[in-house]
Structure 1
Amino acid sequence: MNTQTLEQMKQLRLHGMLRAFNTSLSSQSIDYTNDELIAYLIQSEWDDRHNRKIERLTRSARFRYSALMENIDYDPSRKINKNQIQRFANCDFVAQNDNILITGSTGAGKSYMASAIGHQACSLGYKVLYFNTTKLFTMLKTSKADGSYARQIDRIEKQDLLILDDFGLKGLDNINRHSFMEIIEDRHGKKSTIIASQLPVEAWHDIIGEQTIADAILDRLVHTAHRIDIKGESMRKKLKNKE
């Protein structure tokens, strides 16, 4: 009977329950009541599905870094508000459709922090997508040529959290400017966006170009956003000096 039950669990793809039941059969020291066994099997299946969902969301996000919020460096020289960052861990900002803007010099740890928040959002079941901004715009230009632009924009719009890293390394041309406007307009008040940049927010207007569109984009991005400005020396340099 147990063999048949195990086979049925396998066919039903109850992988967590299958492993838990196998464990209970092989262990002589665990004596479950019927209620306890059922609760154990259900919890094991729930845990398995939850973990696989997180793995799937994390894989789909395509993060640059495997980053954890607990590994963020709060050295006083970085001038980071630890309470502010830790409040992001519950991802209320995603539920409230708020944006986060992270600025700082090269190597300051902007990308790591953005990725860490993104990983945390995945762990809570949110759909996240990470992009290097330059590569995003290159992809969107290519998609205009092959007819997949609308599908790519729709995919971006559906993400609970969009992370745009290394924003502002080069100015936006007319095509990229309008694509950026479309992305921000689609997400405004509906979804959350994190932007990480070497440039202070005050310089973004010139990077976007064309005053009317720049005003419209920044009006949607900046005014109600959470701001993080990381100070201190490059984290890469700091870690290299420790070696």
Structure 2
Amino acid sequence: MVELEHTRELMKSMGLTTAAELLDARLEDASHRELTYLDFLGELLDTEHQERRRRSEETRIKLSRLPNRKTLEEFDFSFQPSIDPRKIKELSTLAFAARNENVVFLGPPGVGKTHLAVGLAMQALRNGMTVYFVTLPQFIADLRKASIQGRLERRWRVYLRPDILIVDEVGYMQLDRESAELLFRLICSRYETGSIILTSNKRFSEWGELMSDTVIATATLDRLLHHAHVINIRGETYRLKDRLKIGVQMVPPADIPALEKPAKE
């Protein structure tokens, strides 16, 4: 018993907390199964390794700031026939991230752009990579606040450090000169050094207007798209697909009677 407690304390001091907690149960199991010393040790260390991976993944998910934990397996490709599932499957190998390439999802609101971006992020997190999620309005507000507080350069590291940076909702707000320059700097800073997954409801031809400067927009797109996979999504809103399938109308029926015009005096 003294030897057992000594072994348990050694495991804890070495950071093998899961193995220490399971030592008694695994010893009893090994005795019943007549495992060799090597098999017993291998199974115990494998359990410790799996638990460390689980905790690491959970920590990275929390730090990623993802809005949800939707996976690619949950995406209904039959509802969005404009998307080639083979292309998404290819992206899910994460070879694009290994090559520091970008992924751009284009399409109107609600067609599944963010779901696919998050799904790729979850795949990356499962594989030990780091991810950070931010909407464009959040990114601009964050850096403007950091600039006022005199910590802009330090705050930039948050957006340059992860293996994959997701920039969501590009196109929902008109950018002034300062905001456009922040987005341009972000794209330049991660160019060929880290992957970006970007979602936008704007065609590339509209980015000049979006960024209030055609020159900055052109330079931004030049770097963003140099090594990029562009997925253009067309179709009905993905968020309301279940309601549409059961025939729930999204607009008032056409036979609503018009309001009577007031009688002329």
TM-score range with shorter-chain normalisation? over 0.9
1:172 lines up with 2:148 in the alignment: no
Query: What SS is found at the alignment partner of 1:235?
Result: coil
Question: How far does residue 171 in structure 1 lie from its aligned partner after superposition?
Answer: 1.6
Query: What SS is found at the alignment partner of 2:192?
Result: coil
Relative distance call for 1:241 and 1:26 in structure 2 (3 A) is farther
Query: What SS is found at the alignment partner of 2:196?
Result: strand
Q: How does 1:165-204 map to 2 (within 5 A)?
A: 165-204=168-207
Answer yes or no: is the 8 Å Cα contact 2:207–2:214 preserved in 1.
Answer: no
Question: How far does residue 41 in structure 1 lie from its aligned partner after superposition?
Answer: 2.1
Indicate the residue corresponding to 1:44 in structure 2.
Answer: 47
Q: Of residues 10, 22, 34 in structure 2, which corresponds to 1:31?
A: 34
Relative distance call for 1:209 and 1:23 in structure 2 (3 A) is farther
Relative distance call for 1:112 and 1:29 in structure 2 (3 A) is same
Larger radius of gyration: 2
Amino acid across the alignment from 1:127:
T
Answer yes or no: is the 8 Å Cα contact 1:102–1:197 preserved in 2.
Answer: yes
Indicate the residue corresponding to 1:105 in structure 2.
Answer: 108
Indicate the residue corresponding to 2:256 in structure 1.
Answer: none
Indicate the residue corresponding to 1:5 in structure 2.
Answer: 7
Aligned residues: 243
1:61 lines up with 2:29 in the alignment: no
Q: How does 1:1-243 map to 2 (within 5 A)?
A: 1-27=3-29, 29-75=32-78, 77-241=80-244
Structure 1, 28-37 or 221-230: larger mean CA deviation: 28-37
Residue by residue, what CA displacement relative to the aligned partner does 1:102-157 show, whole Å, maximum 9, x if unpaired?
Answer: 01111111111101101111111111100011111111111110112111112211
Structure 1: stretches of 5+ with no match in the other structure: none
d(CA) in 2 for partners of 1:102 and 1:129?
Answer: 17
Relative distance call for 1:217 and 1:75 in structure 2 (3 A) is same
Relative distance call for 1:234 and 1:22 in structure 2 (3 A) is farther
Answer yes or no: is the 8 Å Cα contact 1:129–1:162 preserved in 2.
Answer: yes
d(CA) in 2 for partners of 1:240 and 1:29?
Answer: 55
TM-score by length of 1: 0.93
Relative distance call for 1:37 and 1:151 in structure 2 (3 A) is same
TM-score by length of 2: 0.86
d(CA) in 1 for partners of 2:193 and 2:116?
Answer: 23
d(CA) in 2 for partners of 1:106 and 1:45?
Answer: 44
Amino acid across the alignment from 2:4:
N
Question: How far does residue 82 in structure 1 lie from its aligned partner after superposition?
Answer: 0.6
Query: What SS is found at the alignment partner of 2:167?
Result: strand
Answer yes or no: is the 8 Å Cα contact 1:205–1:218 preserved in 2.
Answer: no
CA RMSD of aligned residues (A): 1.7
Question: How far does residue 200 in structure 1 lie from its aligned partner after superposition?
Answer: 2.2
User: Percent identity over the alignment?
Assistant: 26
Amino acid across the alignment from 1:179:
L
User: Which structure dedicates a bigger proportion of its chain to helix?
Assistant: 1
Amino acid across the alignment from 1:152:
R
Relative distance call for 1:22 and 1:209 in structure 2 (3 A) is farther
Residue by residue, what CA displacement relative to the aligned partner does 1:64-116 show, whole Å, maximum 9, x if unpaired?
Answer: 12111111111164311111101122211100000000011111111111011
d(CA) in 2 for partners of 1:117 and 1:23?
Answer: 38
Answer yes or no: is the 8 Å Cα contact 1:63–1:115 preserved in 2.
Answer: yes
Answer yes or no: is the 8 Å Cα contact 2:208–2:215 preserved in 1.
Answer: no
